[in-house]
Amino acid sequence: MSKRNKEAEVTVAVGQMEPSFGAIETNVTRSITLMEKAAAKGANLMVLPELCNTGYVFQTRAEARSLAELIPAGSSTEAWCRAANRLGMHLVAGIVERDGEKLYNSAVILGPDGVIGRYRKMHLWGDEVLYFSPGNLGFPVFDTPLGRISCHICYDCWFPECFRLSALQGAEIICVPTNWVPIPGQDPKSQAMANILVMAAAHSNSVFVAAADRIGTERGQPFIGQSLIAGHSGWPVAGPASQDKEEVLIATVNLADARRNAFNQVLRDRRIDTYGEMLGSRHTPDWY
């Protein structure tokens, strides 16, 4: 990075880990160890995997409910808040959220001063529909001292609308807690489909994307790792990580680069006069 482009410099980390199913205290302790490793390398924003405090493969709704927590009053969120305060770090982490009778596959967004907000997974994958309600908060963008942060979870990345809606609201970095699984027909020696989607979305929306995946096999379901941080041009600035090792990836980026009006800028150059009401928006972000 050139010395002159540091006006919104952030050191981003993604923590790739293997949760132990149902062992909330153990998983949170492990995740805080990853936070400490990242902070020691200068990270001030970290992303952890989807449902990283509980594990993923539920067998009954009652089991999912027994592991669900309130936000911000749950033990996991409170422990992460204490760690974030001690380390001076912002964090995005996946959690089972309980809200009345409903359960959500959620992510909590927090900083040194406490909880900033939450995101509820909009697109449920596979058996998730048996346990969770679809997200009902849209695609919020959170103003933080580091920059404008948005969040998606796993299968949301298969829907380009998610990235576009976050980008149009001014998101500079999209944090993705995820539990990617093997895709039928995928050559295990080639780039994961999920990585291709994330890189393409970063490129076509001029946003940074930090995706934290898990590893291991849980109740017969394998997970593929390969976490990565994509720059606003789409190319990885850290990773992809391995398929089977716990890792912390680190990249120092300038979030202001996501908003620069270069000769061509994909959001500015949209032909919204031709897309129609169903596909386009007549709103152009005020920061262009």
Query: Considering the domain boundaries, does residue 275 fall inside one?
Result: no
Going by C-beta distance under 8 Å and a sequence separation of 6 or more, which residues neighbour residue 233? 202, 203, 206
- Assign 2 a pLDDT band (cuts: 50, 70, 90): very low
Based on the structure, what is the number of domains in the chain?
Answer: 1
In three-state secondary structure terms, 279 is coil
Phi, psi of 34 (to 5 degrees): -65, -40
Query: Considering the domain boundaries, does residue 129 fall inside one?
Result: yes
Query: Considering the domain boundaries, does residue 145 fall inside one?
Result: yes
Alpha-helical segments (H) within the chain: 24-40, 61-67, 75-87, 160-168, 193-205, 272-275
Q: Quick one: average pLDDT of 171-192?
A: 92
Exposure class string for 153-184: b at 16+ Cβ within 10 A, else e: bbbbbeeeebbbbbbbebbbbbbbbbbbbeee
Query: Considering the domain boundaries, does residue 203 fall inside one?
Result: yes
Between 167-171, 177-181, 235-239, 278-282, the lowest mean confidence (pLDDT) is in: 278-282
Active site residue 157: no
d(CA 207, CA 233): 8
Q: What is the pLDDT of residues 120-141, one digit of tens each?
A: 999 999 999 999 999 999 999 9
Amino acid at 52: C
pTM above 0.85, yes or no: yes
The pLDDT of residue 261 is above 90: no
Active site residue 277: no
Query: Considering the domain boundaries, does residue 279 fall inside one?
Result: no
Candidate list 52, 81, 151, 154, residue with the active-site label: 154
Cα 42 to Cα 36, 39, 185, 216, 260, distances in angstroms:
10, 5, 39, 28, 25
Q: What is the pLDDT of residues 14-34, one digit of tens each?
A: 999 999 999 999 999 999 999
pLDDT at residue 111 in the model: 98
pLDDT at residue 3 in the model: 47
Active site residue 189: no
The CATH number assigned to the domain holding 47 equals 3.60.110.10
The pLDDT of residue 250 is above 80: yes
pLDDT at residue 6 in the model: 75
Between 48-62, 103-117, 178-192, the lowest mean confidence (pLDDT) is in: 178-192
The pLDDT of residue 115 is above 90: yes
**Alpha carbon distance, N-terminus to C-terminus of the chain:** 23
Q: Quick one: average pLDDT of 34-42?
A: 98
pLDDT at residue 196 in the model: 96
Query: Considering the domain boundaries, does residue 285 fall inside one?
Result: no
pLDDT at residue 263 in the model: 64
The pLDDT of residue 282 is above 60: no
Q: What is the pLDDT of residues 56-102, one digit of tens each?
A: 999 999 999 999 999 999 999 999 999 999 999 999 999 999 999 99
For residue 175, the enclosing domain spans 10-263
Query: Considering the domain boundaries, does residue 274 fall inside one?
Result: no
Candidate list 69, 97, 121, 172, residue with the active-site label: 121
Query: Considering the domain boundaries, does residue 166 fall inside one?
Result: yes
d(CA 286, CA 278): 22
Going by C-beta distance under 8 Å and a sequence separation of 6 or more, which residues neighbour residue 168? 267, 281, 283, 285
Candidate list 18, 50, 69, 247, residue with the active-site label: 50
d(CA 114, CA 98): 19
Going by C-beta distance under 8 Å and a sequence separation of 6 or more, which residues neighbour residue 143? none
